[in-house]
């Protein structure tokens, strides 16, 4: 999931400006910033192979739910006298109430995202100033890897409370590392040699504003889609190795072996992540950020920046419309995937081998889906918004799929064949969201304040991501533990969000952002680091 930037005339001048951290003789007007090299770009891609979500987003949550299921009891019998079964409900006391284990997963997921929002509100802005961002990426990556290895000590149902802590930490560190890695995208895309050449031609009058904007937009989409494709290819190799590990551990021989195998896979994913991260840590060029505004400190800048971004966003009508859409649809997709994940784990009886094979199908489909979307977009020169609209339609169909299962056991993520079909469907039709939704942010944000607006979207995204799971958890409890009822809420919210996407006009946004940049240049509110 990952990218950023755009804009026109006034922004192009910034593209051509030198890097303020270069030596004095390089700061002559018109000198180029340091160009993005092919090696640096591939280090960026390879990092994403490691930060693929297998530890914190896939096997971590599955192990957590598995531990809950094994520690839980059948509520139709006296507490803790009858274990959970495939055809029984499964509950545990959690945060003052006896809850369905799927409700516990959703509630814990909501708590995790709430903490993520708080963390990013405090330090998310640090990506914009000086050279802090690479260090923060390194910190969260190392911490995430440590959490992955800590799962080796949590492989028994009696330790499910420790699993709660690792589940929350795993999600937070994964998302924060991903957020700060993604924040490198504006500099990489802006400093591509072809984009720099185009910017110079625009300034010399050899190119029109629209031609440059179209080239820059397509380059952003190319980098985004290639990063997803490379991640998918690398992830398939990792999953294939995991199948061998599971065979060696005899994971399907017993419940105990299966539970231990979960923890081994999480630790292995963490080790691969660290190896894939090292090239990026060593090769990334430290591009400069902004200067701290007067009266601000590193402890207060996050809150101030979020307020400023929200205030400025209100001046950019198209950006604000997309912000509302992003808030709503991001919540719909995150919660839908989480709810389906809990249903999937139950349907396949938490089998590590089955889940790994399902992931292989999903990743192959993901790579194919993103590549096909990109080929179609490139062949017919389709705009980012149009591609996103097409993608959103299939996300809504996913909620309808789950909604059908409220009153029937024949459909609605209730059978193994549906889970296999879902993985293929999700990869082909839903995964392009993670590329196009991010690219669209760059289409409606002013380049000089790109980090500012991405920080705002990131906080908004994390805020919405905890609302959905908390509401869905409450819905499951109120419906008598019907795990499909949240899809009603998700479909209605998703349908509402599409109205705001339809109203976004990218052409008007470019004009609004140009006016915004010129106004801010006069105020000098966002000066570069000297």
Three-state secondary structure string covering 171-187:
HHHHHHHHHHHHCCHHH
- Mean pLDDT (whole number) for 485-509: 93
Share of the chain above pLDDT 90, in %: 37
Per-residue pLDDT of 358-369, as tens digits, reads 989 988 888 788
Confidence of residue 345 (pLDDT cuts 50, 70, 90): confident
Residue 4 has pLDDT above 70, yes or no: no
Residue of higher predicted confidence among 441 and 522: 441
- Mean pLDDT (whole number) for 230-252: 91
Confidence of residue 451 (pLDDT cuts 50, 70, 90): low
pLDDT of residue 239: 92
Residue 12 has pLDDT above 80, yes or no: no
Q: What distance in Å separates the CA atoms of residue 309 and residue 451, rounded to the nearest whole number?
A: 10
Residue of higher predicted confidence among 57 and 139: 139
Q: What distance in Å separates the CA atoms of residue 500 and residue 324, rounded to the nearest whole number?
A: 7
SS3 191: coil
Q: What distance in Å separates the CA atoms of residue 476 and residue 493, rounded to the nearest whole number?
A: 17
| Range scoring the smallest mean pLDDT among 97-111, 216-230, 408-422 | 216-230
Q: What distance in Å separates the CA atoms of residue 127 and residue 185, rounded to the nearest whole number?
A: 12
Residue 77 has pLDDT above 60, yes or no: yes
- HEC secondary structure over 142-208: HHHHHHHHHHHHCCCHHHHHHHHHHHHHHHHHHHHHHHHHHCCHHHHHHCCHHHHHHHHHHHHCCCC
On whether the CB atoms of residues 445 and 384 are closer than 8 A, the answer is no
Q: What distance in Å separates the CA atoms of residue 32 and residue 42, rounded to the nearest whole number?
A: 21
| Range scoring the smallest mean pLDDT among 46-55, 94-103, 147-156, 440-449 | 440-449
Residue 247 has pLDDT above 80, yes or no: yes
| Range scoring the smallest mean pLDDT among 3-17, 244-258, 507-521 | 3-17
DSSP letter (8 states) at residue 369 = H
Residue whose C-alpha is closest to residue 94's, from 60, 67, 128, 134: 67
Residue 13 has pLDDT above 60, yes or no: no
Residue 527 has pLDDT above 50, yes or no: no
User: How open is the CA angle 477-482-486, to the nearest 5 degrees?
Assistant: 80
Report residue 474 as tokens. Answer: 């409450």
Q: Which residues pair with 98 in a beta bridge?
A: 93
Q: What distance in Å separates the CA atoms of residue 468 and residue 486, rounded to the nearest whole number?
A: 9
- Mean pLDDT (whole number) for 115-124: 80
pLDDT of residue 173: 93
Averaged pLDDT of the chain = 82
Q: Indicate whether this model's pTM tops 0.75.
A: yes
Q: Mean pLDDT highest for which of 6-10, 17-21, 393-397?
A: 393-397
Share of the chain above pLDDT 70, in %: 86
Q: What distance in Å separates the CA atoms of residue 71 and residue 304, rounded to the nearest whole number?
A: 45
- Mean pLDDT (whole number) for 396-420: 92
Per-residue pLDDT of 267-294, as tens digits, reads 999 999 999 999 999 998 877 666 666 7
Helix (H) or strand (E) holding 100: strand 97-100
Question: Does the CA dihedral 216-393-466-172 come out positive or negative?
Answer: negative
Report residue 385 as tokens. Answer: 């918004």
pLDDT of residue 23: 35
Q: Is 310 exposed, middle or buried (0-12, 13-18, 19+ CB in 10 A)?
A: middle
Residue whose C-alpha is closest to residue 70's, from 152, 147, 163: 163
Residue whose C-alpha is closest to residue 198's, from 11, 423, 460: 11
pLDDT of residue 116: 84
pLDDT of residue 452: 65
């Amino acid at each position: 999931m990952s990218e950023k930037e755009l804009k026109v005339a006034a922004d192009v001048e910034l593209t051509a400006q030198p890097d303020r951290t270069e030596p004095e003789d390089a700061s002559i007007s018109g000198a180029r910033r340091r160009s993005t090299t092919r090696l640096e770009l591939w280090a960026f891609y390879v990092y994403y192979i490691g930060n693929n979500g297998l530890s914190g987003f896939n096997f971590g949550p599955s192990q957590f739910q598995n531990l809950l299921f094994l520690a839980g009891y059948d509520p139709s019998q006296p507490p803790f006298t009858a274990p959970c079964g495939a055809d029984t409900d499964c509950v545990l006391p959690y945060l003052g109430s006896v809850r369905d284990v799927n409700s516990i997963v959703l509630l814990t997921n909501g708590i995790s995202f709430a903490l993520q929002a708080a963390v990013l509100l405090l330090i998310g802005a640090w990506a914009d100033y000086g050279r802090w961002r690479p260090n923060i990426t390194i910190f969260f990556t190392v911490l995430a890897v440590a959490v992955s290895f800590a799962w080796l000590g949590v492989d028994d149902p009696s330790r499910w409370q420790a699993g709660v802590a690792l589940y929350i930490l795993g999600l937070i560190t994964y998302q924060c590392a991903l957020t700060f890695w993604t924040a490198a995208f504006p500099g990489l895309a802006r400093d591509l040699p072809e984009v720099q050449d185009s910017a110079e031609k625009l300034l010399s009058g050899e190119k029109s504003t629209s031609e440059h904007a179209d080239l820059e937009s397509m380059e952003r989409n190319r980098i985004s889609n290639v990063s997803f494709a490379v991640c998918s290819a690398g992830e398939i190799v990792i999953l294939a190795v995991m199948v061998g590990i599971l065979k060696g551990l005899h994971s399907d021989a017993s419940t105990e072996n299966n539970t231990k195998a979960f923890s081994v896979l999480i630790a292995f994913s963490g080790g691969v992540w660290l190896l894939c991260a090292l090239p990026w840590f060593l090769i990334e060029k430290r591009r400069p950020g902004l200067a701290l505004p007067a009266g601000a400190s590193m402890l207060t800048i996050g809150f101030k920046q979020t307020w400023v971004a929200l205030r400025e966003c209100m001046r950019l009508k198209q950006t604000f419309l997309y912000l509302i859409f992003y808030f709503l649809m991001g919540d719909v997709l995150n919660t839908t995937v989480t709810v389906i994940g809990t249903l999937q784990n139950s349907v396949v009886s938490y089998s590590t081998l089955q889940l790994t094979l399902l992931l292989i199908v999903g990743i192959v489909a993901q790579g194919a889906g993103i590549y096909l979307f990109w080929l179609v977009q490139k062949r017919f020169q389709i705009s980012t918004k149009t591609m996103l609209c097409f993608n959103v339609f299939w996300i809504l169909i996913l909620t309808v799929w789950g909604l059908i299962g409220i009153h029937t056991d024949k459909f609605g993520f209730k059978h193994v064949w549906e889970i296999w079909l879902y993985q293929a469907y999700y990869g082909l039709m839903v995964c392009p969201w993670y590329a196009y939704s991010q690219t669209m942010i760059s289409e409606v944000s002013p380049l000089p304040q790109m980090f500012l607006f991405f920080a705002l979207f990131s906080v908004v995204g994390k805020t919405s991501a905890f609302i959905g799971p908390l509401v869905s958890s409450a819905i499951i409890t109120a419906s008598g533990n019907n795990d499909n009822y949240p899809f009603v809420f998700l479909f209605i919210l998703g349908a509402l969000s599409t109205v705001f996407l339809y109203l976004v006009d990218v052409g008007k946004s470019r004009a609004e952002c140009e006016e915004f940049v010129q106004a801010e240049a006069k105020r000098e509110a966002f000066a570069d680091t000297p």
